[in-house]
Structure 1
Amino acid sequence: MSEEKVLTKKELESALFSAADALRSKMDANEYKNYLLGIIFYKYLSDKMLYHVGEVLEGRRDLSLEENQKIYEEKFDTEDLQDDIKTTFSYTISPEHTFTYILNEINGTARTKDGKIKTFQISDLADAFNDIESTKDSDFEGLFADVQLYSPRLGTNAQKQADTIANVIKAIGDLELVNQVDNKDTLGDAYEYLIKQFASESGKKAGEFYTPQEVSELLTKLTLVDKNYPEEMTVYDPAMGSGSLLLKFKKYIKLANGQADKIFYYGQEINMSTYNLARMNMILHGVDSSNQELRRGDTLDEDWPPVSKTMFDAVVMNPPYSLKWSANKGFLQDPRFSPYGVLPPKSKADYAFLLHGFYHLKNTGTMAIVLPHGVLFRGAAEGKIRKKLLENGSIDAVIGLPSNLFYSTSIPTVIVVLKKDKTDRSVMFIDASKGFEKKKNQNELREEDIQKILDTYEKREDVERYAHLAKFDEIEENDFNLNIPRYVDTFVPEPPVDLKKVATDLHETNVEIEKNQRELVGMLKELTSDDTEIMDGLDAIIKELEAELHE
């Protein structure tokens, strides 16, 4: 049986996060997340391969990584073994580059073929990464580019850099990442937990890679309301970050059809570090390479994927808010934007993201996107786009969220739900801005808050001070302004004032004041002093108080 520690999900999360202690004093969370997440991913790939070696060569699944390492060193030159590993994993890690061997180097127990003790050098880990990245399979190309092993942030010289990385490797060295006992998603969930913790520590920079899980859950479930996908489902996030939002479908589509392995994920991300993080996240969640197509690119400047390739059952997105973009006039000929006759302004790409996602939505699909409230009421080009969408019946719901849900901004946001197959042009307005739990630094949607939103959205019925189904005529009367307070009155009137009670309370207060003044006068009269000025002052105060009592 493996000697590595098999932990519960919470224990694993805690153990993995504590490994960041070796890096916290050297750089901020937005940087050290790349080191820790990259090294964890490397250990996972290495361990998975070694367990496979033991199973293939010895027919045993209970051997420790150390035992499998010895077998691997002895049999590595066997051509059949190398072919089997390449076929099974699409990558190969040589025996002297496995995580287990490098950990032995750090612990002083690794030996070369001629019996000499082998000590750890940064180049050993760099070579191990190169083993994985040099595979012909594009899934691994450039995957560890952000793990800057020779960065001065790790130390002022090669030895100090090696010591820092060695401490990270030792911190996770005896953790079991492959054979988890609770469920097959334990490691993927732990990885998500780490991403969340790094987002919490990263502050505004977290917006590049993380959408809070509760918001991701809500967006995902909104696209699944009244939907059933018995054969397969395609999902798309054009601003995917770490891929966490896409991966929610793996968890929640089971509610619809139980065929999580029939989900096909498409995502695009402009930031290289975040793109690599999404690739690792997918693999650690057990998503087969044939079920995903992730791309690094600028979603707005270059349309992807080609419409001829696929349209999507669900589009979900939490793009950067009010981002500047080129708004080049040539985009007026782009089929994503041309039906609307105008382009979103250069200063605010909110509608550019919305129109891109909506263009790639199937006629029977649903899209849910998080945006700032300005998209509901801003005029000029945005107003024209909004009017066109409403006239086409494309906007299905507008859901106001609480403020301070995101690590990157404290502003309140709104979810816009869009469809192409609506039979009417009504819009469901939901003001969910007051449904949350206040945590230490953030507000957080609770399960009951999420469920209330989903139930209200599905029923499409008015709820006092919470929701209103607005017909197109009503929206037209409001000049296509979708500002939620125009449709949902959340004002709670003050209870009527009982004037008789006020009068009684006022009388009782005056009686109490008079009583206290009389007691004060009595105490002042008992005071004496040989100083005539003090006594004159006391007499003056007493006379003033007595005058008030006789009024």
Structure 2
Amino acid sequence: MNDKISQDSINKALWAACDTFRGTVSADTYKDFILTLLFVKYISDVWQDHYDGYKAEYGDEPELIIEMMKNERFVLPIEASFYALYDRRHEPGNGERIDQALHAIEEANGTKLKDAGKSVFQDISFNTDKLGEEKQKNTILRHLLEDFAKPELNLKPSRVGTLDVIGNAYEYMIKNFAASGGQKAGEFYTPPEVSDLISDLLDPQAGDSICDPACGSGSLLMKCGRKVVSNHGSKQYALYGQEAIGSTWSLAKMNMFLHGEDNHKIEWGDTIRNPKLLDKNGDLMLFDIVTANPPFSLDKWGHDEAEHDKFSRFRRGVPPKTKGDYAFILHMIETLKPNTGRMGVVVPHGVLFRGSTEGKIRQKLIEENLLDAVIGLPEKLFYGTGIPAAILIFKREKPDNTVLFIDASNEFKAGKNQNILTEENISKIISSYRDRAEYAKYSHIASAEEIKENDYNLNIPRYVDTFEEEEEIDLVEVRLERERLKSHLALLEGEMNKYLEELGYGA
């Protein structure tokens, strides 16, 4: 089957496969099954496509071909292939067979699907009671295998063309799960428009090292990498990340593979309590670009251990016990390279003006001339929360000590449940940032002295006046209009009384 297929038809077929679970299992649970089986199906189709190619070239020589297949980017044991699982779908034990296949895939591919002993599929089991008792579970998984075997989901390269078709399908699925995932959605996904904006603001260059210490499924991190390709025609960059939630770390690893991002290092663990991205001396690694959309105002972020942090990340102050925003900001600041380091972080607005320890930390960051820009975003952009957020841009090297404030809170296209940043909205923010331009009711360049006079409060309305004067009311005209309306009302009441009398309802 060599007919080309559109991205849209693949996406629709994948989303339809979720019907197997709907009404039985929550989306938060079944997303891992769908995305993992998509991964297995893709590597199986690639393997089969290459096998068929060798067979056409060298004839029916299975031993020779299998030997040649050992040099593939990804090794697939025959018994772990999607097709081997599909052929036995009517037999009992589908869950156990799929789990065994995942284990065999991990073992055959060395460190590609492992980091520090943790495997990508460690937190994913198809042989789980979450799918019901054995008979129901077997039936659900049979239906799922049949969904992925449909012609629409033939993912062979000879049919779908570029690898990005699969990577895009994976992103599409993650986005849709995030959109329907409620409060938990923001844990693993940053909306693509926001990722686009941040990557444009940070302007990654060829040779840059790029890190996201709260990387979720890796979408923001990869967007920065793809900017290097699109703007500079180069794949000379390295991606680094850390993710605390095991199943989300697995998504990031599979996502990287499906997008062809082999030059990456994604660690599993709590970035604040246990940073894993360390150099050979055990110190924090430094990067050209650090970016993140960390969890907003995280409770229980590691306050008790922070005072004695061996990396001295909290020397400017220890953030409040129940709000971890500045814990992530301070960690990110410490991982910036001395000259080239630049950083973009998404934060709730409270970060801009809350007092106490946060106010002192904010003051020190401004006095050190690290803050470059504060960009206010519209509400309802992020999955799982309707509150508006802001992007803070920090730089290790700045030409002056000013801070640019941009109020883009009204720059969006309204969606059904989420607001969306359009290309025009993004372009306006980017040009204002790059040109360091002031526009009425939109942007303002504040001096260090002005910020000091505001007690280091960064609340955007203090710097960007968006107040619209109300049109002056002509009281004489209002009085005349009121008299006209009274006369018209009297006329209508007279006509109404006449009609009532004709109908015999007169007084």
Fold agreement, TM-score > 0.5: yes
Change (3 A) 1:40 1:90: closer
1:330–1:480: structure 2 CA closer, same or farther, 3 Å change rule? closer
Tell me, yes or no, if the aligned pair for 1:155 and 1:164 is still in contact at 8 Å.
no
**Rounded Cα–Cα distance in structure 2 between residues aligned with 1:148 and 1:399:** 42
How far did residue 102 of structure 1 move?
Answer: 2.5
Which of the numbers 272, 288, 295 marks the counterpart of 1:300? 272
Which residue of structure 2 lines up, in the alignment, with residue 269 of structure 1? Answer: 243
**Match for residue 179 of structure 2 among 200, 213, 232:** 200
The verdict on how the C-alpha distance between 1:247 and 1:296 changes in structure 2, with shifts beyond 3 A counting, is same
Superposed counterparts of 1:239-388, under 5 Å: 239-259=214-234, 261-288=235-262, 291-307=263-279, 310-324=285-299, 325-328=301-304, 331-332=307-308, 334-340=310-316, 342-362=317-337, 363-388=339-364
Secondary structure of the 1:89 match is coil
Q: CA deviation at 1:124?
A: 2.8
- Please name the residue that 1:125 is paired with: 98
Residue in structure 1 matching 2:82, options 84, 96, 99:
99
Give the equivalent residue in structure 2 for 1:140: 113
Aligned-partner SS, 1:430:
strand
- C-alpha displacement of 1:183: 3.8
Matches of 2:94 and 2:405, distance apart in 1: 60
Match of 1:238 among 182, 206, 213: 213
Deviation of the 1:270 alpha carbon: 0.7
Deviations 1:27-47 (A, max 9, x none): 111110000100110111222
Secondary structure of the 2:216 match is: coil
493, 496, 501: which one pairs with 2:472? 496
| CA separation of 1:344 and 1:330: change in aligned 2, threshold 3 A | closer
Q: What is the CA-CA distance between 1:133 and the residue it aligns to?
A: 1.6
CA distance in structure 1 between the aligned counterparts of 2:469 and 2:434, rounded to whole angstroms: 29
Q: CA offset at residue 256 of structure 1?
A: 2.8
Percent identical residues: 38
Distance 1:26 1:4 in 2: 36
For residue 51 of structure 1, what is the aligned residue in structure 2? 49
Paired residues of 2:32 and 2:124 also in contact (CA < 8 A)? yes
The TM-score normalised by the length of structure 2 is 0.91
Measure, in 2, the Cα distance between the counterparts of 1:358 and 1:31: 35
Pair 1:102–1:516, CA change in 2 (3 A): same
For residues 435 and 355 of structure 1, the distance between their equivalents in structure 2, rounded to whole angstroms, comes to 29
Give the 3 Å change call, closer, same or farther, for CA 221–48 of structure 1 in structure 2. same
After the TM superposition, which residues 372-521 of structure 1 pair with which residues of structure 2 at under 5 Å, given as runs?
A: 372-521=348-497
- The CA distance in 1 between the partners of 2:306 and 2:23, in whole Å, is 48
SS of equivalent residue, structure 1 residue 235: strand
Instruction: Give the counterpart letter for 1:220 in structure 2.
Output: S
Q: Using the alignment, how far apart are the partners of 2:472 and 2:70 within structure 1? A: 77
- Matched residue type, 2:120: L
Rg larger in 1 or in 2?
A: 1
Q: Aligned to 1:26, which of 9, 24, 27?
A: 24
Match of 1:541 in 2: none
Secondary structure, counterpart of 1:177 in structure 2: coil
Deviation for aligned residue 1:527: 6.3
What's the counterpart of residue 218 of structure 1?
197
Tell me the amino acid that sits aligned with residue 188 of structure 1.
G
Per-residue deviation at 1:85?
A: 3.3
Q: Which residue in 1 is equivalent to 2:33?
A: 35
Number of equivalenced pairs:
495
Secondary structure at 2:171's aligned position in 1?
A: helix
Q: Deviations over 1:294-340 (max 9, x none)?
A: 10011001233225684222111001111122223664554452541
Q: What whole-Å deviation, never above 9, does each CA across 1:328-375 have from its counterpart, x for those lacking one?
A: 3664554452541x2111111101101111211222132110111111
What SS is found at the alignment partner of 1:388?
helix
What is the CA distance between 1:470 and its match in structure 2? 0.6
1:200-224 CA-partner distances (Å, limit 9, x unpaired): 1211111221111111111111111
Taking the aligned partners of 1:333 and 1:403, their CA distance within structure 2 comes to 35
Does residue 209 of the first structure (1) align with residue 188 of the second (2)? yes
Please state whether the residue corresponding to 1:429 is helix, strand or coil.
Answer: strand
- Counterpart amino acid of 1:242? S
CA deviations on 1:134-191 (whole Å, 9 max, x unpaired) are 236122242223432222232322x332221121111121322231546431110111
Offset of residue 127 of structure 1: 2.4
Mapped contact 1:336–1:356 kept (Cα < 8 A) = no
Aligned equivalents of 1:83, 1:185: Cα separation in 2: 28
Q: 2:154 — aligned with what?
A: 176
Corresponding residue number in structure 2 for 1:112: none
Q: Against the structure 1 CA distance between its residues 511 and 86, is the aligned structure 2 distance closer, same or farther, given a 3 Å change threshold?
A: same
Q: Alpha carbon RMSD of aligned pairs, Å?
A: 2.4
Q: Distance in 1 between matches of 2:275 and 2:98?
A: 37
With 503-512 and 312-321 compared, the bigger mean Cα shift is at: 503-512
Go from structure 1 to structure 2 and tell me whether the alpha carbon gap of 1:528 and 1:97 turns closer, same or farther (over 3 Å shift).
closer
Greater mean alpha carbon deviation, residues 235-244 or residues 459-468: 459-468
What SS is found at the alignment partner of 1:444? coil
Question: Comparing 176-185 with 235-244, which one deviates more in the overlay?
Answer: 176-185
CA distance in 2, matches of 1:502, 1:336: 66
Partner residue, 2:127: 150
Aligned-partner residue type, residue 304 of structure 1 = K
**Structure 1 residues 124 and 313 mapped into 2: Cα distance closer, same or farther (>3 Å)?**
same
Equivalence for 1:88: 72
The whole-number CA distance in structure 2 between the counterparts of 1:133 and 1:445 is 39
Cα distance in 2, alignment partners of residues 480 and 433 from structure 1? 21
How many angstroms apart in 2 are the aligned matches of 1:453 and 1:255? Answer: 20
- 1:258 and 1:287 map into 2 onto residues whose CA distance is 15
Query: CA, structure 1 residues 160+330, in 2 after alignment: closer, same or farther (shift >3 Å)?
Result: closer
Please give the alpha-carbon distance, in whole angstroms, between the structure 1 residues aligned to 2:477 and 2:156.
70
Cα distance in 1 for partners of 2:202, 2:35 equals: 30
More displaced stretch, 188-197 vs 433-442: 433-442
Residue identity matched to 1:45: I
Conserved? CA contact 2:293–2:347, under 8 Å: yes
Unpaired runs of 5+ in structure 2? none
Please list the CA deviations of residues 27-86 of structure 1 after superposition, one character each: whole Å capped at 9, or x if unmatched. 1111100001001101112222222223334428xxxxxxx9xx6xx72xx3x6555434
Q: Distance in 1 between matches of 2:165 and 2:181?
A: 24
User: Matches of 2:498 and 2:51 in 1, distance apart?
Assistant: 97
SS at match of 1:438: coil
